């Protein structure tokens, strides 16, 4: 194939391969109001709130005192009317509006609001997934979240939405949440004494049975170390990783957050720090029977993560997370991964918080991944190997869903 033929083939294969989106904050319709969608939610996304405070003379406190529609109006006027929406997150809203044939240059949100308010969520999910080229998404499910826990009393069953058991409140903030565990009937103790470890193991077993999660997950600070003399380290080693092995599911480690560096801006208040990835080295080496999904938040940690993935076959790097999910950085990360790992990694996840975000996040990601992948095949062709459409389809299928399905044990063997 010529380079031009390779590029068009890669793009068409990527566009026609449905993606399994392995990490999102979306919820199936049976979670009710927890599932965010529509123009007001799209505009009050914390990425856009952070941009608002840079472009408008409004304090966070004044902004938080507004209602959701007023907040959305302020963001629309500031970032989309008074300024050109050229950032990644603002351009994303433009892409979503265009996908539904809505004006992206209106002075107000009247038409967009009328459109979304007329949508019925179940059909809307199908339409959004079709536009995004997504077949399934993995949610972020927290059994200690008081808003979510009641939903699991009578869980629905929506095969488009898979569960992931999120453990931040236990592993990072046990002292603030141990009483919630106690109230759910687990004999845990402040500080982790007594039967805490075995009771956390029982808690995990109960929730795996209830949620059927594809993996367990935790986000970790840039200061994360393993091993260390801490309850987090003990719970990880003695409860969480054994439970993952017992249930045949991987552990997702999302490393490098500096939490709430500016609490005034709430969800937008987290930042990034370079982590010591020798912790990942220790975990992969000392727990060879566990499988790890790992994503890191610092651009400086990406190359190390690639090298560790070459050392440990039980390590699956995934995604260009959060502050890295920008075309310039996604390109760099994807290219170094292809160069060092071939197709043995998971290039992206959307991290969508609002349903329709999967449309733009996957459109933007496919564009960048296609360019990186095409360059690799052009080099292969010039170095002496004929590239076929079938080879491209096989690699794309592997990266966009089969690697994850194999890793989580839900692939056809």
Give yes or no for a contact between 289 and 312, defined as CB atoms under 8 angstroms apart. no
Task: Between 166 and 398, name the residue whose CB sits nearer to ligand FIX.
Answer: 166
Residue 142 within binding range of Zn ion, rule CB under 5 A:
no
Query: Edge to edge, what strands does the sheet with 134-138 contain?
Result: 19-21, 134-138, 161-162
Closest to ligand FIX by CB, 266 vs 394, is 266
CA-CA distance, 321 to 330, in Å (whole number)?
9
Q: Which is nearer to ligand FIX, 95 or 402 (CB)?
A: 95
Nearer to ligand FIX, 78 or 140 (CB): 140
CB 138, min distance to ligand FIX, A: 11
Q: With respect to ligand FIX, which residue has the nearer C-beta, 71 or 219?
A: 219
Q: State the minimum distance, in angstroms, from the CB of residue 24 to Zn ion.
A: 7
- Which residue, 50 or 121, is less far from ligand FIX as judged by CB? 50
Tell me the DSSP string of 149-160: GGGGGS----TT
Which residue number is nearest to Zn ion in terms of Cβ? Answer: 351
Tell me how long the chain is: 413
What's the min distance (Å) between Cβ of 266 and Zn ion? 15
- Angle formed by the axes of helices 299-311 and 278-286, nearest 10°: 20
Q: Is residue 168 within the footprint of Zn ion (CB under 5 A)? A: no
Partner from Zn ion, ligand FIX, none binding residue 176, C-beta < 5-8 Å depending on class: none
E strands along 54-195, which residues?
Answer: 134-138, 161-162, 165-166
Closest contact distance (angstroms) between CB of 189 and ligand FIX is: 27
Q: Which residues pair with 272 in a beta bridge?
A: 257
Under a CB-based contact definition with an 8 Å cutoff, are residues 21 and 350 in contact?
yes
Site residues for ligand FIX per CB under 6 A: 25, 140, 219, 254, 267, 322, 351, 353
* Cβ density class 279-308: b for 16+ within 10 Å, e for less: bbbebbeebeebbbbbbbbbbebbebbbeb
Of 129-137, 165-173, 267-275, 343-351, the window that binds Zn ion (rule: CB under 5 A) is 343-351
Contact, 341 vs 309, CB < 8 A?
yes
**Which does residue 254 touch among Zn ion, ligand FIX, none (CB within 5 to 8 A, set by kind)?**
ligand FIX
Query: CB neighbours of 340 closer than 8 A, spacing ≥ 6?
Result: 306, 307, 309, 310
Minimum CB separation of residue 46 from ligand FIX in Å reads 6
> Whole-number minimum distance, CB 351 to ligand FIX, in Å?
4
Minimum CB distance to ligand FIX, residue 248 (Å):
23
- Please report how close the Cβ of residue 252 comes to ligand FIX at its closest, in angstroms: 9
Of 136, 138, 145, 206, nearest in space to 170 by CA: 145
- Which tokens in the block code for residue 188? 């845990």
Q: Residue 322: which of ligand FIX, Zn ion, none does it interact with, CB under 5 to 8 A by kind?
A: ligand FIX
Per-residue HEC secondary structure of 290-351 comes to CCEEEEECCHHHHHHHHHHHHHCCCEEEECCCHHHCCHHHHHHHHHHHHHHHCCCCECCCCC
What does 353 bind: Zn ion, ligand FIX, none (CB cut-off 5 to 8 Å by kind)? ligand FIX
C-beta closer to ligand FIX: residue 25 or 393: 25
Q: Which among Zn ion, ligand FIX, none contacts residue 219 (Cβ within 5 to 8 A by kind)? A: ligand FIX
- Taking the complex as a whole, how short is the minimal distance between the CB of residue 21 and ligand FIX, in angstroms? 13
Instruction: Report the distance separating Cα 42 and Cα 37, nearest Å.
Output: 7
- Residue pair 313/338 in contact (Cβ under 8 Å)? The answer is no
Contact map string, positions 346 to 365, toward Zn ion, x by CB under 5 A: -----x--------------
Considering beta carbons, is residue 10 or 317 the nearer one to ligand FIX?
317
Shortest distance in whole angstroms from residue 296 CB to ligand FIX: 12
Segment interacting with Zn ion, rule: CB under 5 A, options 12-20, 101-109, 303-311, 344-352: 344-352
Distance separating the N- and C-terminal Cα atoms of the chain? 33
From the list ligand FIX, Zn ion, none, which binds 303 (C-beta under 5 to 8 Å, kind-based)?
none
* Residue linked to tokens 């095969």: 159
CA 252 to chain centre: 11
Residues that bind Zn ion (CB under 5 A): 351
């Amino acid at each position: 194939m010529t380079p031009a033929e390779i590029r068009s083939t890669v793009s068409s294969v990527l566009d026609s391969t449905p993606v399994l989106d392995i990490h999102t904050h979306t919820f199936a319709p049976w979670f009710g109001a927890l599932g965010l969608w529509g123009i007001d939610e799209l505009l009050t996304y914390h990425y856009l709130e952070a941009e608002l405070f840079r472009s408008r003379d409004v304090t966070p406190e004044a902004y938080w005192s507004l209602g959701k529609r007023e907040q959305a109006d302020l963001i629309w006027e500031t970032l989309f009317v008074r300024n050109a929406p050229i950032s990644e997150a603002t351009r994303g809203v433009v892409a979503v509006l265009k996908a539904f044939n809505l004006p992206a240059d209106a002075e107000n949100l009247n038409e967009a609001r009328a459109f979304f308010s007329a949508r019925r969520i179940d059909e809307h999910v199908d339409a959004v997934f079709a536009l995004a080229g997504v077949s399934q998404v993995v949610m972020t499910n927290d059994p200690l979240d008081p808003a979510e826990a009641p939903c699991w009393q009578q869980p629905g069953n929506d095969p488009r939405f898979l569960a992931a058991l999120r453990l931040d409140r236990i592993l990072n903030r046990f002292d603030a949440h141990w009483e919630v565990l106690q109230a759910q009937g687990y004999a845990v103790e402040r500080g982790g004494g007594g039967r805490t470890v075995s009771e956390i193991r029982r808690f995990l077993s109960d929730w795996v049975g209830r949620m059927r999660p594809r993996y367990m997950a935790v986000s970790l600070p840039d200061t994360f170390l393993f091993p260390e003399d801490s309850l987090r380290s003990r719970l990880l080693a003695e409860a969480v990783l054994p439970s993952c092995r017992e249930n045949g599911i991987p552990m997702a480690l999302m490393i490098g957050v500096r939490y709430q560096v500016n609490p005034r801006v709430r969800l937008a208040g987290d930042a990034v720090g370079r982590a010591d990835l020798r912790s990942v080295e220790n975990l992969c080496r000392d727990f060879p029977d566990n499988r790890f999904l790992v994503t890191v938040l610092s651009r400086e940690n990406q190359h190390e993560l690639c090298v560790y993935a070459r050392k440990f076959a039980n390590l699956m790097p995934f995604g260009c997370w959060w502050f890295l999910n920008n075309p310039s950085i996604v390109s760099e990360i994807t290219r170094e991964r292809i160069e060092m790992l071939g197709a043995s990694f998971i290039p992206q996840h959307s991290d969508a918080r609002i349903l329709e975000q999967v449309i733009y996040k996957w459109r933007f990601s496919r564009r960048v991944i296609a360019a990186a992948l095409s360059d690799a095949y052009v080099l292969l062709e010039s170095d002496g190997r004929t590239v076929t459409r079938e080879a491209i389809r096989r690699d794309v299928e592997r990266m966009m869903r089969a690697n994850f399905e194999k890793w989580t044990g839900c692939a056809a063997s």
